Structure 1
Amino acid sequence: MNNTPKLSIWKKILALVLAFGPGIFAIGYTIGTGSVTSMIVAGSTYGMQLLWVLLLSCIFSGLLMYAYGNFALVTGETALYAFKKHLKWGKLIAILIIVGISFGQWNSLMGILGISANIIYEIFLIYFPSLVDAKYESVLTIAIAVIVIFYGLLLVGKYSFFEKILVIFVTIMGLSFIISLFMVYPLPIDVVNGLVPTIPKIEGGQMMVAAFVGTTMAAATFLSRPLFVKGKGWTIKNRGQQKKDAIIAATLVFFISASIMAVACGALFYQGQPVTKVLDMVNTLEPVAGKFALTLFFFGTLSAGLSSIFPCLLIAPILLADYQSGELDTNSKQFRIITAIAALFALIVPIYGANPIHMQILSQVFNVFVLPLVILGILLLINNKKLMTTYKAGILLNSGLITAFFFACVISYNGVVALLDYF
């Protein structure tokens, strides 16, 4: 009899986790190995100095998720379809956004698959030391196996199926990073100072700020939200639920990302050991954090990678379907062909045996360039009285989105300067 309450508690927790809405895709898009890489590199190189960028990005992300979701519930239309239909120059804006986001996400996909395959290889190496002489072949085989499995799952899945798989990966990832934080943590004064806006005055500082915003304020997250809201079956009656979902998603993104940065700061920054490769952490983190924290951290990083593969494969067909009709058909020929091209594209880094870290940070920087367009588009739509009727945006939402627009413009300029310096 004693087991029944325990069982019901676990059932309640599981039901709570699986009840998570479209916000789970926001976390899947936002916290991938690109985000983990940016947070680790920032935490180990600059300590908690960029925490303010993360906080601002998450606040603006929550506002944008809410605005796009609310627009979909009120009008029944999706983002790019509405841009094309209601805005002057809407067709051109929509096409620029599709090209810009798909380019950024497919570049990320190469790095994600490369890092995930490397992590799985490192795990295999513990049990099969003889693999040390066949690193390239092993990593490539793992990468092919992972992408084939995910492509296969895409072909059989529906929205609810994708959502459940993402929930599992995101839960493992979040718990792994937050538990690691209890073992290795930064000084409280550094956390407080990190909330004061400053840009690191050393090489790569500007690039890192742009990469941070590119990975946290991911334009793909907002544009895809109307489709996922519709996929969930939500209507105008679910406005309160949609708002709560956006707040929870933005809050979780902040806490999980801040945990990664804090672990890297506590374990590596104070030791004067900046990281340029995620897998370098195997050697640097273990003496400080111990084997258990290290295993947890890598399990979290792997879950972050795997939770991002689905959204990255889905992004181009989602944006095209949005532009064409506002409906995503996962059984269509177009969907299968585009996701197959994305899956093959993902294998470029593993095939060349390249280090995916620089590609990963660069792809995050490229993501910021379409961001001002994405914010401007929704600002115009939610203030259109004919479309939104009594649900037109209020002063608070408008003020937040206008601030987000100027923030995105400054960061885009910053990204241009950083890329010119890099090349």
Structure 2
Amino acid sequence: MLKRLRAIGPGALTAAAFIGPGTVTTATVAGATYGYALVWTLVFATIAAIILQETAARLGVIAQRGLGEAVMEQFTGRPALKWPVAALIIGALFIGNAAYEGGNIAGAVLGIEAALPAIASRSVLAAAIAIFAGIILLFGGYRTIERVLIVAVLLMTLAFATALFIIGPDWTALLKSAAMPKIPAGALPLVIGLIGTTIVPYNLFLHAAAAKKRWPSPTGLSEAKFDARLSIGVGGIVSILVLSTAAASLFGTGLTVNNAADMARQLEPAFGTGATYLLAAGLFAAGLSSAITAPLATGFAASELFGFPADPKNIKFRAIAGTVLLFGTIVAVTGVRPIEIIIFAQIANGALLPIIAVFLLYAANNKKLLGEYANGWLANSASIIVVLIAAGLGIRGILRAIGVM
């Protein structure tokens, strides 16, 4: 068991990626608005994410392919299709991650402001966080990045778990909701949001590439599966902790919250500064971890699609990742929200999620790549259900971005 725990890494990167400010905010609003009623959504989303991420890890370990490489191999000898597909994928990932990177940095700033309101201006804090993330991302190397993100996941877990126990949840209501799905009136957008912030297309590229780097032979498959299940499972638990904290402290109070920083400030009169600091630390870790993983995943995807080394120290890798970080920094420091870019990013990622999920499922059934480790009927059944849901989420995201829903 100790050996397996030491192997934790690629899954933790993925968990750090999806427990960002978007997930924390959506879970906070869900708990404050509907109590424990949507806990089942996060249970389902976590199981679905484990299915897809474990498949991506299997592709990396057994086939020694990143997802981008596997996609490109399907178009060998067909450049008329290959390069437009590559451009679509990297365009969606690059623009999407660049657009959301500002929110990642801003989320980390909110965490600091919730604990230390007058420490510095928002722009200064955003610039400091971006510089810190840039030093880790551009100069740390893969193993350093991995260790930093593992610490971030542990910090989030400890912070949100301790805060929840201080507040004292209704365990009966929590467990009942986890086992009995229902959608209260008006809650459908939040249901979709909770699932959509857990199942993220760029995480599939990140996980496959990281698993390939960590386990260079099929003998690592058992460790890779353990890593994926434990890490993604812990990530799902963190999201449930955030939702449950909001449900226990804010549901039924009539107070309005827009993010976890609002929740942290609201808790202080009733539960003391300790709860506020814990939630602030969790939000800071969520923002910082996503500020690192979004550029990292974009760099991995670009390296596989265009054939340069998948190494954070490679100059081309650094250029791609650094550009994503730079754009997010500008957005966070200036406070300007590039609405048109964000809308385009929502549409692009909404279209990309089901496409990438289908490519992943196709690769998982390719016996030339995976041999005896290719999907069986049970894995295919579970994956098809997840792919259909991903397609629904993608269509819903596109329609919402263009104002139809």
Query: How does the TM-score come out when normalised to structure 1?
Result: 0.85
What's the CA shift for 1:398? 0.6
- One-letter amino acid matched to 2:319: I
SS at match of 2:36: coil
The whole-number CA distance in structure 2 between the counterparts of 1:241 and 1:35 is 27
From the superposition, tell whether residues 206 and 361 of structure 1 become closer, same or farther in structure 2 (CA, over 3 Å): farther
- One-letter amino acid matched to 2:58: N
What's the CA shift for 1:208? 2.3
The whole-number CA distance in structure 1 between the counterparts of 2:265 and 2:343 is 22
Q: Deviations over 1:3-39 (max 9, x none)?
A: xxxxxxxxx99x9865422111011111111211111
What's the CA shift for 1:394? 0.8
What's the CA shift for 1:93? 3.9
Conserved in 1, the CA contact under 8 Å of 2:160 and 2:241?
yes
What's the CA shift for 1:267? 0.6
The whole-number CA distance in structure 1 between the counterparts of 2:100 and 2:348 is 10
The whole-number CA distance in structure 1 between the counterparts of 2:343 and 2:252 is 23
Match of 2:166 among 161, 183, 193: 183
SS at match of 1:216: coil
Match of 1:120 among 112, 120, 129: 112
Conserved in 1, the CA contact under 8 Å of 2:48 and 2:199?
yes
- One-letter amino acid matched to 1:63: I
Q: Any unmatched runs of 5+ in structure 1?
A: 1-11, 132-137
From the superposition, tell whether residues 45 and 273 of structure 1 become closer, same or farther in structure 2 (CA, over 3 Å): same
- One-letter amino acid matched to 1:318: F
Match of 1:323 among 305, 313, 317: 305
The whole-number CA distance in structure 2 between the counterparts of 1:117 and 1:193 is 32
The whole-number CA distance in structure 2 between the counterparts of 1:227 and 1:116 is 26
Conserved in 2, the CA contact under 8 Å of 1:81 and 1:326?
no
Question: What percentage of aligned pairs have identical amino acids?
Answer: 26
Residue 157 of structure 1 corresponds to: 140
Residue 335 of structure 1 corresponds to: 317
Residue 275 of structure 2 corresponds to: 293
- One-letter amino acid matched to 2:126: A
Q: Deviations over 1:249-291 (max 9, x none)?
A: 2210121110000001111113122311433224422223322
What's the CA shift for 1:173? 1.1
The whole-number CA distance in structure 1 between the counterparts of 2:276 and 2:117 is 15
Q: Deviations over 1:102-150 (max 9, x none)?
A: 3332222101211222332444436x6xx6xxxxxx1111211221222
The whole-number CA distance in structure 1 between the counterparts of 2:254 and 2:271 is 15
User: What root-mean-square deviation, in Å, do the aligned CA atoms of Structure 1 and Structure 2 show?
Assistant: 2.9
Conserved in 1, the CA contact under 8 Å of 2:346 and 2:397?
no
- One-letter amino acid matched to 1:119: G
Residue 199 of structure 2 corresponds to: 217
From the superposition, tell whether residues 121 and 237 of structure 1 become closer, same or farther in structure 2 (CA, over 3 Å): same
- One-letter amino acid matched to 2:258: T
Residue 185 of structure 2 corresponds to: 201
- One-letter amino acid matched to 1:179: T
From the superposition, tell whether residues 195 and 352 of structure 1 become closer, same or farther in structure 2 (CA, over 3 Å): farther
Conserved in 1, the CA contact under 8 Å of 2:138 and 2:322?
no
Conserved in 1, the CA contact under 8 Å of 2:99 and 2:342?
yes
Question: Where in structure 2 are the equivalents of 1:53-202 lying within 5 Å?
Answer: 53-86=41-74, 89=81, 91-125=83-117, 138-191=121-174, 192-193=176-177, 195-202=179-186
What's the CA shift for 1:330? 2.3
> Is 1:273 the counterpart of 2:261 in the alignment?
no
The whole-number CA distance in structure 1 between the counterparts of 2:61 and 2:47 is 21
- One-letter amino acid matched to 1:100: A
- One-letter amino acid matched to 1:344: L
What's the CA shift for 1:319? 0.9
- One-letter amino acid matched to 1:258: I
The whole-number CA distance in structure 2 between the counterparts of 1:114 and 1:289 is 26
From the superposition, tell whether residues 237 and 85 of structure 1 become closer, same or farther in structure 2 (CA, over 3 Å): same
> Is 1:395 the counterpart of 2:395 in the alignment?
no
Conserved in 1, the CA contact under 8 Å of 2:141 and 2:313?
no
SS at match of 1:27: helix
SS at match of 2:197: helix
Residue 27 of structure 2 corresponds to: 39
From the superposition, tell whether residues 109 and 195 of structure 1 become closer, same or farther in structure 2 (CA, over 3 Å): farther
From the superposition, tell whether residues 23 and 360 of structure 1 become closer, same or farther in structure 2 (CA, over 3 Å): farther
Match of 2:359 among 355, 377, 397: 377
Question: Where in structure 2 are the equivalents of 1:247-266 lying within 5 Å?
Answer: 247-266=229-248
> Is 1:306 the counterpart of 2:283 in the alignment?
no
SS at match of 2:117: helix
The whole-number CA distance in structure 1 between the counterparts of 2:330 and 2:278 is 28
The whole-number CA distance in structure 1 between the counterparts of 2:99 and 2:331 is 10
